[in-house]
Structures are given as structure tokens and as C-alpha cells.
Amino acid sequence: MSDGSIIELTNGTAAGCPFHLGENIGGRLPEYLGRHDFDEFYLVTSESLHELFGRKLVSQLTRAGISVNLITVAEGESVKSWPQLTALCERLVAAGATKDSIVGALGGGMISNLAGLAAGLVYRGLRFVEIPTTMLNLTDGALSNKQAINGALGKNQFGVYHAPLFVWADVAMLRREPERQHRSALVEALKNGLVNDVAWFDRMEQLLADGVGAVQDDLLGVCHEMIRSKLRILALDPSERKAGIILEYGHTVGHAVEFLAQGSLLHGEAVGIGMCAAAKVGIRLGVTAPEVLERQEHVLGRLMGAPVAVPEEFSPERIIEVILSDNKRRAGSAVRFVLVPEVGRVHLVDGDYETPVPEPLLKSALAES
């Protein structure tokens, strides 16, 4: 071969993982874990979730002959940070974790992110299993293989893609959740329809006509549909860097509002606010039909009782300041938005799924929001 030539190879890795979904399937987790060789199972959860679900889970695993080491962490976005990540990594090492160990994440997105990132860092990568206890994590967060913590300037600024060994999704755990948590998850599912599937959005609108509680009648079936709505998009682009970026509809403002709220807004609530802000931006640019905003506000506000307006205490200037530090920021100074011209379709600019938005226009839209 001559100097300067390039050999194109691939490492052959894939980021997918099995997703085991069912209701009242907790007793079968030892069987599925037993299909893998490991020395010890390190279960990361919170004190409250240990009381709700962890104690029974540990008992089931122990009876099956699986050695379990329980590690509890604090909950909340405010502690999804470097100090707690560092402490968890050190505790895993001190407790005797090895390259042959498996880490389990029992909780919502915050615990899942923290434990998943720790598993990705310790010894350059331990296997881990996601056991979601919230509808949002089960139907959305656990599908993307993204593990992250917040920084001083924004949400999810430091992280890695680290796929679980498998996801263990028992919707029976979701029946213990407050309705507000379900509403947060349903916002993300509505978003999937807004950007990709008008029939799915119509289906959600009909389902929610009787309120959020209607999902309880067929919790497993609805969760299955919600998962499939996101997987259809991830199949186009698992890295979420090209076509998959449409999943970020509402997240530009949503992430900023969630970060500023410091835990007083749930993720889905913040994304719903962000989707309405994005529709107002799109209308000002002549991209978005007013019907999109009307339908969003109808389903989110009237049917679900979710917030649709930016909290008054967050000024447009402060929101933009946080947006400019967002983990998805790309090259260039312009703020970029995923915009929806009509339900089920995303606006394209020269093949790009994000639209540059002038800062004065954004400020005006945020002031109205």
C-alpha cells in the first residue's frame, strides 16, 4: 500500500439492546439475569424506591441465588451532578465491583442516567440493566442509550452513549405513580406524533378526551404503543444527530425551562411548554400553521391539564442564556429549532431538520409564551 492511502474498517459494534416489556413480570427478572455470567449485581436506587420496589426485588434475586449489593442515592435533578456521580463511582469500586459485575438502575430517568453513566465510566464500562419505575423512563428515556448528568450551566451537558445489557420494563410499577408523572410521559408521546405520525397524534387526542386516567384501563397496551412511536423515529437515526433530531421538538426551550425550574417542573411538563413556544416561533417565521399551536394547547392544556406557558419568573433573556449552553448546541451562533409546519411533519431547510431562529424573534415569542 502507498503512503497516504486510507483503509475503511468498522469495529462492528451496535448500540441496541433487548427491551423486555410486560406487567407483573418482576418474578422473572432472576431468570433473565441468570442468562448472563456475572459475579455480583449492584442495585442502584433511592431510599423511597427501595421501600416501594427494591426490597421485594432484592428478595426475589437473593432467593434465586443472585448476590445483590444495594446502593442508595439521593433523588432529584439538583443532585444529578458531578459530586453524586463521583461518589457513586467510588462506592461501586469500594464495594468490590469488578469487570464481571452488573449494575442495576431501579428508578426514573435521573437514577437511570446516574447509574448508567457510572456504569459506563467504572473500569471503562460495566454492564448495566435498566429497571424503569416511571412511565417517562419506561416509554422514552430507556430507549435512547443516553446517560448524562447536569452541569452548572445546563441540563445533560456531560454524558455518554452506553447501552444497557437489557431493559426490564414492568408496567405494574407505573400503577404506583401519581397522575402528574403519567402526564409528563404522555407529552413526549404526543411529541412523537407531532413530528412524525399524524395518526398517532389523533389516537392520543382521542384517548385523552376522557383525561389522563384513561391510560390506566390498558396501561400495558398504551405503553407498548408509546414505545413503538419513538422506535419508529429511532429506526431512522439511532444517534439522534440527523433525522432523529426531530425527537428534540420542544426541547430547546423545554430543557432551559426545566433547568431553571430546579425540580419544580417535570421533564414532560417543560417539554410541553417548549413545544408551544416552538409553535409560536414557527408561526412568526411563517413556517407553522396556527392549527398546530391550537391543537397542542387543546390536548396539553384542556385535555391533560398540563402547563403550556413559560413561567413568568423566567425572562426571555435568561432562557436564551441557558439555551446557548445546551448540550445539543451546534456550531454557529444562531439558536436552532425543530419546527412543525403541520401535525406529523417537520420543517426542512436544505435537508436540515433544524431551523435557525433570529434572537429578536425568539425573544418576542418567549415574551408571548
Q: How far apart are CA 190 and CA 86, in angstroms?
A: 36
Instruction: Report CA 146 to chain centroid distance, whole Å.
Output: 8
CA end-to-end span of the chain: 61
Task: Tell me whether residue 248 is one of the annotated catalytic residues.
Answer: yes
Cβ(10)–Cβ(133) below 8 Å: no
| Residue 146 annotated to the active site | yes
The one catalytic residue in 75, 77, 146, 191 is 146
Q: How far apart are CA 169 and CA 247, in angstroms?
A: 21
User: Rounded to an integer, what distance in angstroms lies between the CA atom of residue 318 and that of residue 323?
Assistant: 9
* Per annotation, catalytic residue among 77, 188, 240, 248: 248
CA distance 271 to 226: 16
**Cα–Cα distance between 256 and 277 in angstroms, integer?**
12
Separation between Cα atoms, residue 270 and residue 273, nearest integer Å: 5
Question: Containing H/E element for 19?
Answer: strand 19-22
Between CA 108 and CA 49 the distance in angstroms is 10
Give the distance from CA 56 to its chain's centroid. Answer: 26
Distance CA 221, CA 229 (A): 12
Q: Which residues are catalytic?
A: 146, 248
